[in-house]
Chains A and B, each alone.
Chain A
Amino acid sequence: MRIVVAEDLYLLRDGMVRLLESFGHEVVATAATGPETLDALLKLRPDVSVVDVRMPPTQSDEGLRAALAARREVPGLPVLILSQHVEQLYARELLADGSGGIGYLLKDSVFDAGQFVDALGRVAGGGTAMDPAVIAKLLAGGTTNRRLDRLSEREHSVLGLMAEGLSNQAIARRLFLSDSAISKYTTSLFGKLGITDDDNSNRRVLAVLAYLNDG
């Protein structure tokens, strides 16, 4: 994959490049500020980019803004936002345009390099990768939502993993269940939530999150 890495701290940028190259990916450019990031994204159109939220010159949410601006220009441009903290507010902004290819993970997630690169691949393929912390908060915040209360505990955890962006097979592996059991759960929880089923994992996540946004 052709990847752009946008991160202002040299140590982290360097480490990220080395990590990605060790998995056989090509880092086509690095950026250290918001404007540089936007430039690189629009000029190089990488397969996926890894972007830090907070960057110079303002040390505010420059990276996030650059990613959102780039996606306005090129809808569906795959971006994985990597941040020191995850916020529901930002997650909602990222998902708001409804096109896939979005990830939002804590920087800690690079500790499990295999899973991190998996997530990156998912985002590059038009899927999503949401941090479990965000998903947990989204689901917890929806407790006032009646329809969510109807889900069984197992369906709840399947919904959570689905919202993180995992496929049925991956969910099955995580929960130590068979694929067919998972598709049974997903069918029943879609029914309970009133969402028409679709094989595209990206649309499933967006449906879930859109539903939670409504609630």
Chain B
Amino acid sequence: MGRMVSWCAEAGRGFWRACVVMVVSMLVPAVWGAAVALTVWWGNPWAGMAPFVFACLGTFALSRPVCQVFRGLVRRWTGTVVPAGYREAGPVTRMSTGYWWNGVSYARTAEEAREDQELRNRWTDPATWRDLRFTAIVPVTAGLVAAVPAAGLVVAGVGFARATPVAALGLVVAVAAAPYAWRPVVPVTVRFLGASPSMRLADRVDELTAQRADTTIAQAAEIRRIERDLHDGAQARLVALGMSLATAEKLMDTDPGQAKTLLREARAGATTSLAELRDLVRGISPPVLTERGLVDAVRAMALDSPLSVTVEAGAPPRLDPPIESAVYFGVAELLTNAAKHAHATAVRISLAHDGAALVAEVEDDGRGGAGVRPGGGLEGLRRRLAVFDGTLEISSPADGPTLARMMVPCESS
């Protein structure tokens, strides 16, 4: 009984979807049908010129919305995302002459410039030609199949009206085809609207360019920080140390007491600059990470944390140092967040390598609500991982707990 009901629901949904696919895919053929009908009705072949031109323009105007609708439908029904990949319009700027420049030509107003650019874009964008090809293909593939249930129903209706046995046949066809008729639209859309290799390549180049820019900026900032810390800290202290020693040397004979004080101060200064250098080194590359690798470095971090941290990790393979470093600092940041923002008391860190990727999870018992925001710490972390094609997933409902999952593809060495 339950199966019967669910099958009926499936058939009903399928029928509805098939109808939608049929209507959308037949929009462009309908325009052409109308043009031909007009020509035939006028009876003069030369009068067909105008409807022909209008049909061409209509196809051109409809192709993109139709394709977008198909992408939307496929995404809604199956979850398969087919990226649009249309060319973005560039900026329109005002020149000193008062005219507007859109990268190719001048226009009197910004609007004109934009329209001109859009038209040019549509014309030169390879995606436009792909859309046109799709609008030609889809009616004869997915469109025809999707029309089967509706056609069956029409046949049944007409058959019943005339009381012929064809009616039953039509009904059977309509019901049997209903759950399946819409399905061809998925492979057709994926195959003919999916990203072309060149599109994918262009996306990848954009992504890599952005990553390179991020990395360069981050590195430059890091080097500046190190330089400043050395300049203001250790270097200055060593100069002061030298001065104290020189003074003490001078005072040694005349005022031994004062000299002794200076020497003691000098020793304290040396201790402080050592401590500063140690912190600096730790910020660049934690010693345990260098000496023992990621797992022990994370264990050491857990021991130093004010929270109660448990670390789960199997026998660790050594990975590329940059990846180890990125994951280490990622874990450090997540641990800091757990203490500072989530007010957590206990944290579980797990490190695992599944042969193709390193997976690091940090889960706390805090109040949650963490998210990747533009300019935020997690966004920075995501970008740093992206340099290695790594990903960051955050699950953090408002009342907690927060689970952060970093995944970096890498071969163990």
Whether the Cβ atoms of A108 and B287 lie closer than 8 Å is no
Whether the Cβ atoms of A89 and B296 lie closer than 8 Å is yes
Stretch among A43-51, A53-61, A193-201 lining the B interface:
A53-61
> Of residues 53 to 81 in A, which have CB atoms within 8 Å of B's CB atoms?
53-54, 59-61
> Of residues 66 to 115 in B, which have CB atoms within 8 Å of A's CB atoms?
none
Say whether B282 faces chain A, with CB atoms less than 8 Å apart: yes
Whether the Cβ atoms of A53 and B291 lie closer than 8 Å is yes
Say whether A144 faces chain B, with CB atoms less than 8 Å apart: yes
Whether the Cβ atoms of A108 and B306 lie closer than 8 Å is no
Stretch among B44-52, B141-149, B214-222, B270-278 lining the A interface:
B270-278
- Please, which residue of chain A has its CB at the minimum distance from the CB of B270? A111
- In the bound complex, how far is the Cα of B270 from the Cα of A144, in angstroms? 35
> What mask results when residues 258 to 297 of chain B are scored 1 for a CB within 8 Å of chain A, else 0?
0000000001001100110010011000011011100010
Residues of B within 8 A of A143 (CB): 306
Q: When the two chains form the complex, which single residue of B282, B291, B306 contacts A140, counting CB atoms closer than 8 Å? A: B306
- Please, which residue of chain B has its CB at the minimum distance from the CB of A143? B306
Whether the Cβ atoms of B300 and A87 lie closer than 8 Å is yes
- How many residue pairs link A and B with beta carbons under 8 A? The number is 49
A111-B291 in contact given A85-B278, A88-B303 (Cβ < 8 Å) = no
Say whether A173 faces chain B, with CB atoms less than 8 Å apart: no
Whether the Cβ atoms of A107 and B304 lie closer than 8 Å is no
- In the bound complex, how far is the Cα of B296 from the Cα of A92, in angstroms? 12
Say whether B124 faces chain A, with CB atoms less than 8 Å apart: no
Q: Give the shortest distance, in Å, between B5 (CB) and chain A (any CB).
A: 55
Say whether A84 faces chain B, with CB atoms less than 8 Å apart: yes
- In the bound complex, how far is the Cα of B275 from the Cα of A111, in angstroms? 13
Residues of A within 8 A of B290 (CB): 59-60
Whether the Cβ atoms of B288 and A87 lie closer than 8 Å is yes
- Please, which residue of chain A has its CB at the minimum distance from the CB of B267? A111
Residues of A within 8 A of B271 (CB): 108, 111
A107-B274 in contact given A87-B288, A89-B299 (Cβ < 8 Å) = yes
- Please, which residue of chain B has its CB at the minimum distance from the CB of A140? B306
Whether the Cβ atoms of A89 and B308 lie closer than 8 Å is no
Q: When the two chains form the complex, which single residue of A89, A108, A111, A141 contacts B288, counting CB atoms closer than 8 Å? A: A89
Number of interface residues of B (CB under 8 A): 22
Q: When the two chains form the complex, which single residue of B270, B282, B291 contacts A54, counting CB atoms closer than 8 Å? A: B291
Q: Give the shortest distance, in Å, between A182 (CB) and chain B (any CB).
A: 27
> What mask results when residues 84 to 127 of chain A are scored 1 for a CB within 8 Å of chain B, else 0?
11011110100000000000000110011000000000000000
Residues of B within 8 A of A61 (CB): 291-292
Whether the Cβ atoms of A137 and B303 lie closer than 8 Å is yes
- Please, which residue of chain A has its CB at the minimum distance from the CB of B297? A89
Q: Give the shortest distance, in Å, between A7 (CB) and chain B (any CB).
A: 16
- Please, which residue of chain B has its CB at the minimum distance from the CB of A138? B303
A144-B308 in contact given A85-B278, A108-B274 (Cβ < 8 Å) = yes
Residues of B within 8 A of A84 (CB): 278, 281, 287
Q: Give the shortest distance, in Å, between B245 (CB) and chain A (any CB).
A: 14
- In the bound complex, how far is the Cα of B111 from the Cα of A197, in angstroms? 89
Q: Give the shortest distance, in Å, between B158 (CB) and chain A (any CB).
A: 80
Residues of B within 8 A of A53 (CB): 291
Q: Give the shortest distance, in Å, between B382 (CB) and chain A (any CB).
A: 29
Residues of A within 8 A of B292 (CB): 60-61
- In the bound complex, how far is the Cα of B267 from the Cα of A88, in angstroms? 26
Residues of A within 8 A of B345 (CB): 144
> Of residues 304 to 355 in B, which have CB atoms within 8 Å of A's CB atoms?
304-306, 308, 345
Whether the Cβ atoms of A137 and B287 lie closer than 8 Å is no
- In the bound complex, how far is the Cα of B281 from the Cα of A61, in angstroms? 16
Residues of B within 8 A of A88 (CB): 300, 303-304
Residues of A within 8 A of B303 (CB): 87-89, 92, 137, 141
Cβ contacts A to B, 27 pairs, < 8 Å: A54-B291, A61-B291, A84-B278, A84-B287, A85-B281, A85-B282, A85-B287, A87-B287, A87-B300, A88-B300, A88-B304, A89-B300, A89-B303, A92-B303, A107-B274, A108-B271, A108-B275, A111-B267, A111-B270, A111-B271, A112-B267, A140-B306, A141-B303, A141-B304, A141-B305, A141-B306, A144-B345
Interface residues of chain B, those whose CB is within 8 Å of chain A, are 267, 270-271, 274-275, 278, 281-282, 287-288, 290-292, 296, 299-300, 303-306, 308, 345
For the complex with contacts A85-B278, A108-B274, 8 further pairs of A-B residues with Cβ separation under 8 Å are: A60-B290, A84-B281, A85-B282, A89-B288, A89-B300, A92-B303, A108-B271, A144-B308
